[in-house]
Amino acid sequence: MSACRFTFARRRKIYRDEKDKKNKKDKTKTPFITFIPVRKKLMTLQTKIYIAGGVAIVLIVMTMSMSMWMTNHRITQAERAASAAKQAAAEKEKLAAEKETEAAGYKEKSEYLEKQVAEIEATARKQDEEIERTKNNTAAARSRVDRARSVRSVDTNADELCGKLAEVGHGCE
């Protein structure tokens, strides 16, 4: 405190001296002592440390809050992405199930058609065998007809003719 009073007293004297120099002409005025506030040295080292600590704490709190916000934001984005991926997977799974059902239907159809083709081929083989037998019978009948034509015709009656036809395998009615 004594330093402050000394400073205050010194400044008051300086102020009076300056005023006297300005007002040398006017001696009638009484010297008026005014109070000049003395500014203390406000920014001491301790004050600076407190301010720096406060700024550091504010910066740390801001950094932590921004970090927490960014973390929460990223978590929210990841949750949204996971939800979208689950939904897409469910849709694709449903589509895959539909395609499997469709494929099973086509497989059954192809098996049915293969079975039909096998039956048709078997029928075709039977018909080919029957055609072959018919060709053989037709060839034999033609050869018999040719033999019968080559034989000299003799006057025969209907009974003899029916008897000969019965021998060949064609009876009369």
Tell me which of 29-33, 146-150, 165-169 is least confident: 29-33
The pTM of the full predicted model, rounded to 2 decimals, is 0.38
Contacts of 144 (CB under 8 A, 6+ apart): 168
- For the stretch 7-51, pLDDT in tens is 655 666 666 666 666 655 555 555 555 555 555 666 788 888 999
Burial, 162: exposed, middle or buried (Cβ in 10 Å; 0-12, 13-18, 19+)?
A: middle
